[in-house]
Structure 1
Amino acid sequence: MEKQFYNNYYTLKNSGIKCDFVTPYNHMAYEKEFEDSGSKVYKVSNLKRRPARYAHEIRTILQKGGYDGVYVNMLSAANIVPLKLAKQHGVPIVIAHAHNDHVPAGLLRKVLHSRNVDSIPRYANAYFACSKAAGHWLFPNIDQEEVVIVPNAIPADAFMYDEDIHRKTRERYGITPDTFLLGHVGRFQEQKNHEFIARLFKRYHDVNAQSKLMLVGEGELREKIRAQLCADGLQDDVIFVDPTNVIEQYYMAFDCFVFPSLFEGLSVAGLEAQAAGLPVLASDALTKELNVTGAVEYLPLSDMGIWVDALDKLHGHCKDSERVTERRVLQGRSFDKTKYSLSQSNLYLVDTISELAARNGIREC
């Protein structure tokens, strides 16, 4: 979500919409960039460990800030405290933004979500969602005509396939031109289903030894997945990459994008992969809204053999490098014309927030 807001941030700023940030983490992605641009980044206590202090700190921020709006990114309804506090402090615009269509792991989170989800309309007066599915899930009692679909969007031009970058990135990691490179970008957590990726790669590598896997990201399950792959004797065929500000170079290096998530809202990574011209093998649990270029193939997690066959078929398509380059460039151009291209999405977001401001008598926007 930090990457998504970073993609929107400068357009909002240049349109006169100032943004400050509240985070329970010691460090927030792009924190320095936001602060250097004049925004404040407030660090608050962990809600689970210190709930009273968490609420007090947010109250203090709202009292001192004099904000016209509060925008709350929500993976579930487990935490609606910021919505409640914004309402109590008379903030004119309170936006709840749905970024998932399924409750993340954790029994307590599931219980709290079930208890709170019907209360969201008591505190929020504007509803955003990254997809129709996410909107229906988090706002079940809201007329869906009132839910504003704000697509996750990316700077499509940055991901336009470049054969030279493809070659140089692979050379940096010793990946030969005839190696079939499976790729994935995502945080190592249960939702992203890295355990499935590891098992899939073991099955596929048994069929095609001239293959490698590249996993970009960090997270609590990273070392567990590394150990699983090493136990299968694949340590020399898997490359772990830390999060990077030049992620487009890695998409360009991949030959396909493997995406077996258990659930998503509308994945930025899935969009980035398509913008880079990649074929995407995705779990059939994911929203069909993701398939904006026709390059996403939905497969059941219950049958790994189908995934292996799909990979083998894609490998066959990669053998004609000229046709691959042409296809990837054309797919990238197709993506750039969609509402998921950042240039289109930013204009829509600014217009939507400006309309909310005008409706609430706020004229500065």
Structure 2
Amino acid sequence: MAIMKCNPVTAGRRNMSMLSFDEITASKPLKALTEGKKRISGRNNYGRITTRHMGGGHKRRYRIVDFKRDNFGVEGLVKTVEYDPNRNARICLVFFPNGDKRYILCPNGLTVGAKVVSGENAPIAVGNALPLKNIPVGSVIHNVEMKSGKGGQLARAAGASIILMAKEGDYAQLKMKSGEIRTVRVECLATIGEVGNGEQSLIKIGKAGRKRWMGIRPTVRGIAMNPVDHPHGGGEGKGKGGNHPQSPTGVLAKGYKTRKNKRTTVITVPRSIKKGPFVDEHLAQKCAVAKQKNDRKVIKTWSRRSMILPDFIGLNIAVHNGNKFIPLYITENMVGHKLGEFSPTRTYRGHSTKDDKKAKK
């Protein structure tokens, strides 16, 4: 899909760009799979604003998308690729032989006339949905369930994808695009491939009115408000009173962590702003060369904190434990762990008095 740049006939269109919509094959949705959608403009049941900057926008009908993919064993035919105003990804209309018709997310490479199927014995092909236990390690997936049977919740936006890093017992390790590694049960369904329309993030809105069509209202600076409306409001000139940047309700805007601890139990490696999980560059280069040449020689490394990637499977890596190199043969079950976990040192060395007491015991 191409990105079209608008001619600068007006100030608003000077820096505007839009998608070409070449892949769209139908202009109207299937009415039976749509329903009315009432806008709430960021209000709750009391009518109070809970999410700011929401309101207005073009009228929409909600497309009922099948995130569960529970039509097991029935092969469907992709009839159309359609635009969905409620999400930035495209959707496909799939016809099944039993008369069922469903919308699914359109991944990259899925076109009109292609066939899709879901189930444990489905082939590994773009658009097919399988349990994680039947998907090979290293596969690119999307629309992943967090609870079996609940429907896909992870990687549903345009261009989103997840890499299946490893499978251990009843759980699978998933690497998000942010670098974070999560664990979900292997019975959860996932769809093969990457969500299409990845160029969506490259378009330029160009003017404020286009945001209003989307239902997004202006963001007013707190410093421009009155004291009754914002902690930064009031005062003479442009002063904000010397306090730290914060929201209208007083929540710090910079550096304040809002993630709840109870939600981090499924996260094995938290997301890193820069690179994600650490992997030694020299080790990664050596492994890449060994894979290309199909060389089975032992690769030596001192990097004990490097994470084992799916690319390392089948290689022989010797990890130094402070005394000597411990040879390791990398298997699927080792992916996602650190090399140091498989090359124990002679004695336990902690970093506090409590750890030293544990070592003595």
> Structure 1 length normalisation: TM-score?
0.21
Please identify which structure carries the higher strand content: 2
Please identify which structure carries the higher helix content: 1
Greater relative contact order (CA < 8 Å, ≥ 6 in sequence) = 1
Larger radius of gyration: 2
> Structure 2 length normalisation: TM-score?
0.21
